[in-house]
Amino acid sequence: MRIGTERMRRSFPLWLWNEHLARYLFAANFVANKIVVDCACGAGIGSNIFLKKGAAHLIGFDLSQEAIDIAMGNNKDVSNGDFYVANSNSLPLEKDYAEVFISLETIEHIQEDSLFLKEVSRVMKSKGVFICSTPNRTVTNPGTNLGHKPWNSFHVREYSQAEFLSLMHEEFEEVEMYGLNGISLSVLTFENKLRKIFFINGYVWTNMKKFLKIFWDDIDNYKIEKVAADYEYEYLIAVCSKK
């Protein structure tokens, strides 16, 4: 089964596609000549980018057999990628296997997030790199805490920047934090006041602001940058390693 990239792109709002693509391209900076794990690879669009950016070998995992079938179809043009159904907390890989472990928009779906990180740590080589992204609750669900159910019903939880950083430090000594779709604290405060006046959820508000991008958008609008103290970011990206 194959679903082409262009068809996939047309099935999403343009901004959502570009947000995904920005994260794929960011993670692709780390993969050249490396053994890569793409966890929750979905349709394998990111996997294909990683392979074409020079990954020595890639193994993609997903819980869905349908997703794996599509990923295999979308990567027929490369010979160094393999795709399997597996649970992210119990991967069929030996210890110290991966040089780069990529998990984009996954951890917010996992009930036992700390167990997942232990599995990542087990699978990674000592000098390996773990790249993990997730929505930032401070933007998507402002005024809530870690115990609140997110507005997005598919998410188990969403993290603030401080919580996400603390979680990564459970297994990784070195963590660099990056962000996508930055918003200054002063603007965020103003928008939260407006949002409350109109009784609009933070997740809905954030996507309402992107409405005009239905008609035109460009990948150059999506820069992933190191987090700044006076900004929050709709998406957080952690680049982690062991000492």
Question: Each residue of 149-201: pLDDT tens digit?
Answer: 998 999 999 999 999 999 999 999 999 999 999 999 999 999 999 999 989 98
CATH code: domain of residue 102: 3.40.50.150
Could you give the dihedral angle defined by the CA atoms of residues 201, 206, 211 and 217, in that order, rounded to the nearest 10 degrees? -160
The percent of the chain in helix, strand and coil, each rounded to the nearest 5, is: 40, 25, 35
Residues of the chain falling short of pLDDT 70: 1-11
Q: pTM for this structure?
A: 0.94
Question: For position 215, what pLDDT does the model report?
Answer: 84
Q: Are 219 and 18 in contact (CB under 8 A)?
A: yes
Question: How many domains are contained in the chain?
Answer: 1
Owning domain of residue 104: 5-241
